[in-house]
């Protein structure tokens, strides 16, 4: 049985942050770190870090801490970074171009193989030496190439139809930047990146902080 099926989504979503901080520690030449020291770096409590990591095995030793290189590699394994993932990008507007030009993805095994758009002004242009193809050829391309992940960077009106083409051609991972919730088969995984929702969350927290400050002033005046 896949052990990760019993792990909460909250823990899984914290793993990339561990991975990022451990990478920076490795770059800085740090070889070993305690859960307390890591908590000061990452912002989680030491207890939370130990609980999260214990979900996947025994990585540290009491009084000895974590070997950063080993822990980094083990979390990379848990995140599936021992594999290479072939991806297609649909929509080469501003967001799509930003995704396509982010070199780090390829360094950790996520390779964009094809880019598609319906804008005739963009078709035939290249992003990092990948030619933008007419979206009408997407289905044919998917049939001829084994693709793991589809990146959707189109309008909300077009997103579901693009998603349907992807899933009909055995793409089982969808990275969705369109501001809409997609309907997919049970065996397809969708990770949504709703930029407006993220911004509104920030707005809410800023507003809550302002209200808290104003309340404190009123309390003092009373």
Domain of 141 in residue numbering reads as 85-196
77 appears as a binding residue in the annotation: no
The pLDDT, as a whole number, for residue 215 is: 47
176 appears as a binding residue in the annotation: no
96 appears as a binding residue in the annotation: yes
Say what the pTM is: 0.85
- The DSSP letter of residue 3 is G
Tell me, yes or no, whether 64 and 130 share the same domain: no
Residue 31 lies in a domain: yes
Residue 206 lies in a domain: no
Q: Give 164-184 pLDDT, tens digit per residue.
A: 999 999 999 999 999 999 999
Residue 70 lies in a domain: yes
Tell me, yes or no, whether 143 and 58 share the same domain: no
Tell me, yes or no, whether 131 and 40 share the same domain: no
The residues of the chain scoring below 70 in pLDDT are 1-5, 58, 60-63, 209-222
94 appears as a binding residue in the annotation: yes
CATH number, residue 138? 3.40.50.720
42 appears as a binding residue in the annotation: no
Last residue of a domain, one of 44, 78, 112: 78
The whole-angstrom separation of Cα 155 and Cα 139 is: 19
Q: Give 90-118 pLDDT, tens digit per residue.
A: 999 999 999 999 999 999 999 999 999 99
Query: Taking a C-beta distance cutoff of 8 angstroms, is the pair 127, 101 a contact?
Result: yes
93 appears as a binding residue in the annotation: yes
């Amino acid at each position: 049985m896949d052990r990760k099926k019993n792990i909460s989504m909250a823990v899984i979503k914290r793993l990339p942050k561990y991975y990022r901080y451990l990478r920076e520690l490795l770059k800085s030449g740090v070889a070993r770190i305690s859960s307390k020291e890591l908590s000061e770096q990452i912002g989680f409590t030491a207890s939370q870090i130990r609980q999260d990591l214990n979900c996947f095995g025994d990585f540290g030793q009491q009084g000895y801490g974590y070997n950063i290189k080993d822990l980094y590699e083990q979390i990379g394994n848990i995140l599936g970074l021992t594999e290479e993932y072939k991806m297609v990008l649909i929509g080469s507007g501003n967001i799509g171009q930003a995704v396509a030009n982010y070199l780090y993805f390829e360094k950790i095994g996520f390779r964009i193989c094809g880019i598609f758009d319906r804008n005739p002004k963009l078709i035939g242009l290249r992003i990092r030496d990948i030619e933008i193809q007419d979206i009408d050829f997407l289905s044919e391309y998917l049939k001829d190439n084994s693709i793991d992940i589809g990146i959707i960077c189109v309008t909300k009106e077009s997103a579901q139809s693009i998603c349907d083409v992807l899933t009909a051609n055995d793409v089982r991972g969808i990275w969705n930047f369109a501001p809409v919730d997609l309907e997919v088969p049970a065996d397809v995984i969708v990770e949504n990146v709703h930029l407006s929702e993220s911004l509104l969350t920030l707005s809410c927290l800023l507003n809550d902080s302002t209200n808290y400050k104003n309340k404190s002033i009123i309390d003092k005046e009373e």
